[in-house]
Amino acid sequence: MKGVWLVFKKEILEFTKDRKTMFFTLAVPIILYPLLFGMIGKMGQREDQQARSSQTRIALIDPSNVIESLIQARTNDFTLVPAPEDDEKARQAIKDDQLEMLVTLGASAAQDMAEQKTVAVDVLYNRVEKTGRVAMKRLEDALRELNNATVQDRLQKLGASSQLAAPTSIQSRQVGGEELLLAKLLGTMLPYMLMLMLFVGSMQLGIYVTAGERERGTLITLLATGLPRHEIIWGKLLYVFFMGIVNSVINIGAMTFSMGTLFGGREVSDGYAAVAAEEAAQLSGIAAVVDPTVITLTLLLMIPLGLLFSNLIVFLGVQAKNTQEAGTSMMPVVLLVLFLGVFSMAPGIEKMGILPYIPIVNVSLVIRKLFAQQASVMEYLTAFCMTVGLAVLLTYISTKFLNRESAIFKST
Amino acid sequence: MIHVVDIHKTFVVKDKKTRKKKTIDAVKGISFHVKPGEIYGLLGPNGAGKSTTLRMIAGLMEPQSGSITVFDHDAMTASEKVRRCIGFLSTDLGVYGRFTPRELLRIFGEFQGVDPKVAERRGMHMLERLDLTDFADVKMESFSSGQKQKVSIARALLHDPKAVLFDEPTTGLDVLTAKTVLDLLKIMKEEERAVIVSTHVMPMVEQMCDRVGIIFDGKLHGDAPPKEILSQYGVGTLDEVFFKLAADGGVA
């Protein structure tokens, strides 16, 4: 087995000799993620602030003056602008950012209100824009206030208790705190990122040490040494596996840290400033949120998964005549990995009974459940053992296959 | 001692026109022996089967039938032992461009089971012998073909092999570098190594080889000292032997 270590050492040394590759593999994620997420965070923060600090321009058609005085009283939130001539022009004005919303009440609104009928409030706004969502939230708040006051007034006139309009009242107590919600969110995204990084992160390096060696004419010099062929393959396998793990840890670490920066910078989410601030605080300390046991169990799952992926990379790399062919042959696998990753992010997927028995997908599922503190020992062991079994089987098959002369001697 | 007895090798290839698989007999029953202190020249045109024969002797490929033993090790059942006592130089001039010669020799020394310190000492001695000392710590990606070949030779001889297989060692080299390689072959002969050189450079064979075997269409024609071959074919140069074989379709 000494040969495995020697080949691994040689590959690592060769990797460290190329500063560019080393920089792009190891340093770029550490720089890029905080930069990228920081920029997105800043932009989001600026958008939030702009939306909150500016008044909502509202065009109001309220002939019987049911809500006009209410809107006018909220000077911090609204400014009244003349109503466009028709609905089409109002739509265009909203699209052109000349106003945020058109609110229309019928001519008989005041009378309906007096007769205790429900008054329809027609609202035209752009939900796609942040300013539109803030406008809607402000209007809902204003109307809620009006509704409450009206109901209380009516109850008083009827001589009824103010509790008549509120037969129930929810007093919620949470089993998991906000941190569990966030851990669950992380658990949904993590399997996807993990799979992607494990495969894509080591793919190019894997191609370099397999098809690349063949293309550069160095593979035969390696095979002509006294090292057993399977040890050469395992050495390369170990290198691809190791780089996949390193890549994943660096990328996911940098991403998790940067996510804290992203959410930490945001102060408002559709007006729920307090909740957003709480979320931000939780996400900033995401590392502390996640249980070390969960992290350890996730890392343990990465080992067989990484081995499985590195087997695929080495297998396809040695099979290819050159680096171009290797890259092309790996694309369908990248797409499959992407698909499985996205599939594992789908909501409600954890309820599908068959999934714990589907390789790779079950790893995603268990990671999701681990972060949501819902995974059972049986589920974890099933996913772990199945992945280990598959990785060992694939190692055996690829070693057997790659030991063949026809796999090694191909013309470039 | 290298014993090659009646080896056959067949490749399955795909015909690009018909898209059907067909078999090609690359080596058809070749036998020869090489003693320590002997340089054996394997001659033949491109595609004759020289490289395949050398790869089979080096334990990199397996013959379909026949046997190969290298210093009492069977090339099929003990290929790793065979490779440890063989210095193999491939036609490919591929070197690890990111490494310096010193690093490469240390790494390959370890691959061949040589102590790193010994590998370093031997490597530097080889580089000195090949006039590459000044380039010992320069990355090989900028090396010329000749420099790459010299490093490859140093790598092949680093573990002090009893047998040496050089596949086209002077192809693409300038006259001076080619002479260095030829001088080294003479030294290896003096050091009692069994040397097999495959080439199609005839003057080199006439000058260097104790015996030659001409491979043509996968078969060995003649297995004798160069002069005997010439008299056997009744010609003055090995080039003429080649032309004659080509004209007779390898039947002579």
Residues A223 and A346 in one domain: yes
Any CB–CB contact under 8 A between A223 and chain B? Answer: yes
- In a shared domain, residues A395 and A268: yes
Question: How confident is the model at residue A355, as a pLDDT?
Answer: 74
Whether the CB of A220 is below 8 Å from some CB of chain B: the reply is yes
Q: Residue A226 and residue B81: Cβ atoms within 8 Å?
A: yes
> Given CB atoms, is A128 within the 8 Å cutoff of chain B?
no
- Asked if A321 has any chain B CB less than 8 Å from its own CB, the reply is no
Backbone angles phi, psi at A228, to 5 degrees: -60, 145
CA-based nearest residue in chain A for residue B84 = A226
User: Does residue A171 lie within any of the structural domains?
Assistant: no
Cβ atoms of residues B162 and B130 within 8 Å = no
With tokens 């007779």, the residue in question is B248
The predicted complex's ipTM stands at: 0.88
Whether residue A227 and residue B110 make contact (CB cut-off 8 A), yes or no, is no
The pair of three-digit structure tokens given for residue B129, joined into one six-digit string: 């012998």
Can you give the pLDDT at residue A104?
94
CB contact under 8 A, A13 and B99: yes
Number of Cβ pairs < 8 A linking chain A and chain B: 71
Distance from CA of B252 to the nearest CA of A (A): 32
Q: Within a domain: residue A168?
A: no
Biggest CA-to-CA distance, chain A: 100
Give the closest of A216, A219, A228 to B80, CB-based: A228
Yes or no: say if B42 and B215 are a contact pair by the CB < 8 Å rule.
yes
Buried b (16+ CB within 10 A) or exposed e, A326-365: bbebbeebeeebeebbebbbeeeebeeeebbebbbbbbbb
- Both A291 and A390 in a single domain? yes
Task: Compute the CA torsion angle B47, B49, B53, B56 (nearest 10 deg).
Answer: 70
pLDDT band at B252 (very low <50, low <70, confident <90, very high): very low
Non-local CB neighbours of A86 within 8 Å, separated by 6+ positions: none
Chosen for mutation from B103, B107, B158 (greatest number of chain A CBs closer than 10 Å) is B107
Establish if B157 touches chain A: CB-CB under 8 angstroms. no
- Which residues share a beta bridge with A105? A121
Say if residue A371 is in the same domain as residue A256: yes
Give B37→chain A minimum CA distance, Å.
Answer: 22
> Is A268 contained in some domain?
yes
Which residue, A161, A187, A214, sits at the end of a domain?
A161
| A7 chain-B contacts, CB cut-off 8 A | 111
Quick one: A341 and A199 in the same domain? yes
Say yes or no: B80 contacts chain A, CB-CB below 8 A. yes
**Is the residue at A392 inside a domain?**
yes
Tell me: do A80 and A197 sit in the same domain. no
Put simply, whether B58 touches A (Cβ < 8 Å) is yes
Does residue A373 fall inside a structural domain?
yes
Q: What tens-digit pLDDT sequence spans chain A (412 residues)?
A: 889 999 999 999 999 998 888 898 888 888 888 888 788 778 877 877 777 788 899 999 999 988 998 898 998 899 999 999 888 999 999 999 899 999 999 989 999 988 888 899 999 999 888 888 889 999 999 999 899 888 888 888 888 887 888 888 888 776 666 666 666 667 777 777 788 888 888 899 999 999 999 888 898 899 889 899 889 999 999 999 999 999 888 887 887 777 665 555 444 444 444 445 444 544 544 554 566 788 788 888 888 889 989 999 998 998 888 899 999 999 998 888 888 777 777 777 767 777 777 778 888 888 878 877 777 888 889 889 998 999 899 888 888 887 787 777 765 4
CA angle, B61 as apex, A204 and A400 as ends, to 5°? Answer: 55
Q: What is the pLDDT of residue A8?
A: 96
Q: Is residue A15 a contact partner of residue A240, using CB atoms and an 8 Å limit?
A: no
Residues B16-50 have pLDDT tens digits of 788 888 888 889 999 999 999 999 999 888 888 88
For residue A285, the model assigns a pLDDT of: 46
In a domain, A26, yes or no: yes
Query: Residue with structure tokens 């002969």?
Result: B189
Residues on chain A touching B113 (C-beta within 8 angstroms): 226
Q: Please check the confidence at residue B232 and state whether its pLDDT lies above 50.
A: yes
Amino acid at A248: S
* Alpha-carbon torsion, ordered A208, A214, A219, A221, to 10 deg: -130
| Percentage, residues of chain B above pLDDT 90 | 38
**Residue of A13, A15, A19, A220 best to disrupt the B interface, most CBs of B under 10 A:** A220
CB A134 within 8 A of CB A56: yes
Test B98 with A226 for CB contact under 8 angstroms.
no
Residues of B in contact with A14 (CB under 8 A): 96, 98-99
| Domain coordinates in residue numbering, chain B | 1-85+162-175+188-252, 86-160
Is A187 in the same domain as A94?
no
Query: Does B162 reach chain A within 8 Å, measured CB to CB?
Result: no
Cβ neighbours, 10 Å, residue A20: 7
Q: Reduced to 3 states, what is the DSSP secondary structure of residue B19?
A: coil
Amino acid at A138: R
Residue A13 C-alpha, separation from nearest chain B C-alpha, in angstroms: 9
Residues A202 and A148 both lie in one domain? no
Contact present, A101 and A94 (Cβ < 8 Å): yes
Residue B21 Cα, gap to closest chain A Cα (Å): 14
Residue B102 above 90 pLDDT?
A: yes
Query: Which domain-ending residue is among A161, A192, A216?
Result: A161
Do A269 and A365 fall within a single domain? Answer: yes
Domain total of chain A: 2
In which domain, by residue range, is A71 found?
Answer: 54-161
A14 touches chain B (CB under 8 A): yes
Return the pLDDT at B136.
92
pLDDT for B174 equals 81
Tell whether A167 is covered by a domain.
no
Stated as kind and residue range, the H or E segment containing B214 is strand B211-216
Q: Does B62 touch chain A (CB under 8 A)?
A: yes
CB-based contact B80 A17, cutoff 8 Å: no
Same domain, A251 and A384: yes
Inspect the interface and report whether the beta carbons of A226 and B103 lie closer than 8 Å.
Answer: no
Residues A22 and A127 in one domain: no
Residue of B nearest to A19 (CA): B98
The pLDDT assigned to A263 comes to 56
Choose the closest CB to A18 out of B95, B98, B156.
B98
Measure in Å the smallest separation between the Cα of B60 and chain A Cα atoms: 7
Rounded Cα–Cα distance for residues B169 and B202 (Å): 13
Chain A closest-CA separation from residue B247 CA (Å): 30
Instruction: Note whether A329 and A319 are within 8 A (CB).
Output: yes
* pLDDT at residue number B73: 92
- Superfamily of B1-85+162-175+188-252 according to CATH: P-loop containing nucleotide triphosphate hydrolases (3.40.50.300)
Same domain? A228 vs A364? yes
Whole-angstrom distance, CA of residue A311 vs CA of residue A315: 6
Nearest chain A CA: its distance from B96 CA (Å): 7
For the domain that residue A97 is a member of, what is the CATH number?
3.40.1710.10
The per-residue pLDDT for A131 is 86
In angstroms, the CA A310 to CA A387 distance is 13
